[in-house]
Amino acid sequence: MRLGCGAFAAGCVVIEVLGVALFLRGFFPAPARPEPEPPAAPAAPEPMAGASSNWTERPPPLFRKVVIMLIDALRDDFVFGSKGVKFMPYTTYLVEKGAAHSFVAEAKPPTVTMPRVKALMTGSLPGFVDVVRNLNSPALLEDNVVTQAKAAGKRIIFYGDETWVKLFPKHFVEYDGTTSFFVSDYTEVDDNVTRHLDKVLKRGDWDVLILHYLGLDHIGHISGPSSPLIGRKLSEMDSILMRIHTSLLSEEREALSPSLLVLCGDHGMSESGGHGASSLEEVNTALLLTSSAFERKPGEVRPPERVQQTDLAATLAVGLGLPIPQHSVGRFLFPVVQGRALREQLRLLHLNAVQLSRLLRSRIPGFEREHGFEQFKISERLHGNWVKLYLEENNAEILLNMGAKARKQYLYTLKALSQALSSQEAQYDIYSMVVGTVVVLEVLALLLLSVPQALGATAKLEVPLSPMCSLLFYVMFLLLWAMHMVVCTSAESFCYLCNLAWPVAGAVLALVSALLCGVLSTLTRLCVRRKLLRRKPAPSHWKWSELDFLILAGTAGHVLSLGASSFIEEEHQTWYFLVSTLCLALSHESYRSCFLGDDEEPEHCPRVAGEFAGTASALPDRSVSCDMLELDQARQSPSSLDGLRGREKCMALASPWLILGCCRLLRSLNQTGVQWAHRPDLGHWLTSSDHQAELSVLAALSLLAIFALVQSRCSSVAKGALALGLLGVYCYRAATGHVLSPWQQDNKDVSRGIIEARFVYVFVLGILFMGIKDMLKSQVLAAGIPVKTVGLWDVYSGLVLLTALLFRPHNLPVLVCSLLIQTMMTKFIWRPLRHGAAEVTVMHYWFGQAFFYFQGNSNNIATVDISAGFVGLNTYVEVPAMFLTAFATYAGPVLWASHLVNFLSWEPNSGSALRRACFCYALLSSVPVSAYVVLVTALRYHLFIWSVFSPKLLYEGMHLLVTAALCLGFTAVDRAGAKVDAGKVAHC
């Protein structure tokens, strides 16, 4: 079957997406948990040497009531740093002089809300895949403090983030949930929690009160941690904490029993305002435990102790007299029980050690050889000896010394057990990972073997269907099915493929077999063709140019860099280096073409078509197409800068240096990565409240420049819509208070800008509709190239307008520079120097990747600007929010790919050029994805697998999904111009 290389590449990428999805399903499996114990399982008895203990019951609760005040994104310096002293005076008083214990709790990545809530309540370490489940939290079936409290008859009330309601359905006697994803709101989302507070505090019909405040996190997403709104929100939280604490103290005077107030954060906040990664600002959270039961000596200063966030679950269980969650890897915070009797302290320490040792026994086969388990046995011996002496009423000093020794040993044991369990590696689904890797590598092999045909004269492929019905296919399928049965019957751990229905699993194995047969068939045909070429060699004048070497070396160097965690964290430096080197290479080529003329002009990669034209003539039943004739004519025509006038020639010589200057300016706009992300940049300077006037002027000039750069090729209707839409963008930013406006007397009257944003969306949809209408018109009526290209440019201008709306004001220069570079490259480099489709595609791909990082993105999840997903929305709507967030994140690659389609559509042989571009784009995206899948499999036990490699794996998977959508778009545009190309061939 004869198929265009663009459609073939699009199909390959779609299959590769399925392979990557299968690999991710194996790499991020659902965490395997041991079988739960019966709910009525008795507590472990107190150890005793030579006899049985008389204490077999669980100790009574330490506190009558517990209030958990969770402030989203409360990083440690907001409480214990200068901001805490300034904006949270009452909390600072409790830390320094009150009956409280302060801690810095370390949260493990991913630092997003749902996994952190699970860690706080279960004490376990959620899997990294929970960063995806965070969008729609399923019910939590794992043993946790909330479930234990409900089973014990505790009455629990909750107000705040509805993630809790999804995790713990039917657990609360009263609740009011608010969505956590509508980040534009930082007032009502907290007011909805506080409005219930006075009524609940006056009532005595509850045992646990949970309050989850979201406003601080939302301010961080909107403005960052340096925003003046942060101080106001911290002051608001401080006043609420004071109300709760004073109410509990007054109630304790009447009830004569202590209560516990817990102030904590689920995660921190990066310097850009996001979270999700593993920087210190994101993992260090504040934890404050306040109770009248805590003893404190006058004048005593206790600096915050560093603990793990998972320790809170065991602490809450001990405080409420509940069993510690079975899968908890934390140790309860000992200062909570320091005021209790020594025997009770040892009893609680023993229960925690027993729980951890049971978990260690269920997870590690050779648990007896673990250091923590050996220490646990020593602790039990010491504890048993102490209990024996205690029951015999021996000397008090001997009991005190021996008890202190046993307590110290228990604390060391708990630390060793907790570290051993926390450092346990994930249980990967190796079978799914291997099958997914095989699919990805087979697709890459197909693309690489198809390069000669794809870059040939017609840009079409002979896709053999006979291997799908051959004996080899059936033999391979039977072998894979037999292997599948063996793996599924012998595997001890969970396998995703083994749990699929047999028709689905069979379809996956059939796909693997078909791809393998296709690879072997293509390889065989390539070998036969090479033999024919040796018998009838065709003359070839093609040679490698410096640009060709740069493209191959840059692609190979980038792939190799993915094997090092430092290069992944600082990947933006790789792309900055590549585009800078590309600019220097283009400058060298421009100067050589200008001063040396055509005789010294290097042959470019697309002219390899001449070699394949010779191949076609050497083979039987092949003809030269009209596209090939056009390529020959292009090769004979001048390809230097001689056709340009004096001023245009000067611009062509200066363009690479101007582009290099733009790239250098953009590098200073947004610091990203890890090593230098904390350093101030132009973006921080512009977003500070002191420079709002400068930001307003820059935003206005940027919007004017966007209109000037885009409007020239738009239709008249789209041109007017674009102007009004860009005006609406500025009105939206003025309404939200980011920029100043002449019609606004002061900046206090700010809103969410919902009406203004929707005003812009109307024009975006209108421009897209006009563009798509013109494209369909060119296909149905064969209206010719101008109608199709104008329609394509209208679609492109609509995407530019949407990007301008979603970008923050200080990032608008990124969009301007992107459009400016595209204009200069088109007018002064690609067309005068006659770069072919393959080279132009590579340049678009490289610049698209560089602009992904120029936006301020990185391979950390914290840099994803989720506030873009709520522009124009007054409530959380999942599908639009996810689309807008994804588009804003990948706006750079999408706009450059869209410009590539527009550029090639103006070429005389646009059909074959688009097909080649689609193929090259798919190949460029598949190479790093395939290499990274192999690297991650090999490095799955690396120290930074969850903090560095896993986020990058998610980014690569998402980028491949975007590539699949772009390739499908390439193919659709190619089909839209099929009638025009057919008319050209007939005329030829």
Res. 199: pLDDT tops 80: yes
Distance CA 797, CA 774 (A): 14
- C-alpha to C-alpha distances, 798 to 419, 699, 791, 896, nearest whole angstrom: 53, 19, 11, 14
| Amino acid 971: pLDDT | 83
Distance CA 782, CA 828 (A): 31
Query: Please, are residues 454 and 605 in contact by the beta-carbon 8 Å criterion?
Result: no
Query: 583, 628, 588: which is closest to 608 by C-alpha?
Result: 628
- C-alpha to C-alpha distances, 563 to 559, 571, 579, 948, nearest whole angstrom: 8, 11, 21, 11
Distance CA 560, CA 282 (A): 29
Query: 665, 662, 673: which is closest to 853 by C-alpha?
Result: 673
How many CB atoms within 10 Å of residue 86? Answer: 12
State the DSSP code for 369.
G
pLDDT in tens, 548-560: 889 899 999 999 9
Beta bridge partners of 100: 290
| Amino acid 875: pLDDT | 75
Contacts of 862 (CB under 8 A, 6+ apart): 111, 270, 272, 274, 275, 276, 277, 279, 282
Q: What is the DSSP string of 379-430?
A: HHHHHHHHHHHHHTT--HHHHHHHHHHHHHHHHHHHHHHHHHHHTPPP---H
pLDDT band at 298; cut points 50, 70, 90: low
Query: 315, 305, 421: which is closest to 359 by C-alpha?
Result: 421
Segment 673-697 mean pLDDT: 84
Contacts of 820 (CB under 8 A, 6+ apart): 662, 705, 709
Distance CA 297, CA 280 (A): 32
How many CB atoms within 10 Å of residue 904? Answer: 27
Q: Which CATH code of 2.40.30.10, 3.40.720.10, 3.40.50.300, 3.40.50.720 fits the domain covering 66-333?
A: 3.40.720.10
Query: 70, 147, 151: which is closest to 114 by C-alpha?
Result: 70
Segment 971-986 mean pLDDT: 58
Distance CA 446, CA 9 (A): 9
| Amino acid 91: pLDDT | 94
pLDDT in tens, 802-847: 999 999 999 999 999 999 999 999 999 998 888 888 899 999 999 9
pLDDT in tens, 109-129: 888 888 899 999 999 887 766
Query: Please, are residues 751 and 184 in contact by the beta-carbon 8 Å criterion?
Result: no
| Amino acid 43: pLDDT | 74
Query: Please, are residues 764 and 725 in contact by the beta-carbon 8 Å criterion?
Result: yes
1-10, 135-144, 684-693, 956-965, range with greatest mean pLDDT: 956-965
When mean pLDDT is compared across 290-304, 332-346, 561-575, the lowest value belongs to 290-304
When mean pLDDT is compared across 463-477, 584-598, 748-762, the lowest value belongs to 463-477
Q: ω before 110 within 30° of 0 (cis)?
A: yes
Res. 423: pLDDT tops 50: yes
How many CB atoms within 10 Å of residue 602? Answer: 16
CA gyration radius, the chain: 33
| Amino acid 35: pLDDT | 46
Number of H helices, E strands in the chain: 39, 10
Lay out the sheet containing 284-290: strands in order across: 174-178, 156-161, 208-213, 65-71, 259-264, 284-290, 100-106, 305-308
| Amino acid 535: pLDDT | 64
pLDDT band at 636; cut points 50, 70, 90: very low
Please state, for a pLDDT cut of 70, what percent of the chain lies above it: 85
Segment 867-876 mean pLDDT: 83
Res. 660: pLDDT tops 70: yes
Contacts of 590 (CB under 8 A, 6+ apart): 641, 652, 653, 655, 656, 829, 833
Distance CA 685, CA 546 (A): 40
Give the pair of three-digit tokens for residue 782: 């064969």
Contacts of 669 (CB under 8 A, 6+ apart): 681, 682, 683, 810, 811, 813, 814, 854, 856
Query: 129, 175, 127, 167: which is closest to 147 by C-alpha?
Result: 167
| Amino acid 135: pLDDT | 61
Distance CA 359, CA 835 (A): 63
Query: 959, 984, 706, 700: which is closest to 852 by C-alpha?
Result: 959
Segment 206-235 mean pLDDT: 90
**708 compared with 33, residue with greater pLDDT:** 708
| Amino acid 534: pLDDT | 66
Segment 145-151 mean pLDDT: 93
Query: 892, 713, 736, 730: which is closest to 799 by C-alpha?
Result: 892
When mean pLDDT is compared across 269-273, 346-350, 424-428, 739-743, the lowest value belongs to 424-428
| Amino acid 309: pLDDT | 93
Res. 607: pLDDT tops 70: no
Segment 333-343 mean pLDDT: 90
| Amino acid 630: pLDDT | 36
| Amino acid 385: pLDDT | 87
Distance CA 804, CA 764 (A): 11
pLDDT band at 243; cut points 50, 70, 90: very high
Q: Give the residue extent of every domain in the chain.
A: 2-28+429-484+491-532, 66-333, 340-425, 546-597+643-665+696-744+765-986
When mean pLDDT is compared across 135-139, 610-614, 717-721, 915-919, the lowest value belongs to 610-614
Give the pair of three-digit tokens for residue 606: 């697309």
Distance CA 467, CA 358 (A): 54
Give Dmax over CA atoms of the chain in angstroms: 112
How many CB atoms within 10 Å of residue 723? Answer: 17
Distance CA 747, CA 739 (A): 9
Query: 354, 352, 372: which is closest to 364 by C-alpha?
Result: 372
Token pair 């998977």 is at which residue? Answer: 957
Segment 780-806 mean pLDDT: 82
What 3-state DSSP class applies to 539? coil
185-194, 606-615, 662-671, range with greatest mean pLDDT: 662-671
Summary mean pLDDT of the chain: 83
pLDDT band at 424; cut points 50, 70, 90: low
- In degrees to the nearest 10, what's the CA dihedral of 136, 139, 143, 145? 80
pTM for the predicted model, two decimal places: 0.81
Segment 431-457 mean pLDDT: 90
Please state, for a pLDDT cut of 90, what percent of the chain lies above it: 43
Segment 404-416 mean pLDDT: 92
Segment 715-726 mean pLDDT: 93
Distance CA 556, CA 254 (A): 74
Res. 638: pLDDT tops 50: no
pLDDT in tens, 476-501: 999 999 999 998 888 666 788 888 88
What 3-state DSSP class applies to 925? helix
Query: Please, are residues 159 and 192 in contact by the beta-carbon 8 Å criterion?
Result: yes
Distance CA 236, CA 176 (A): 20
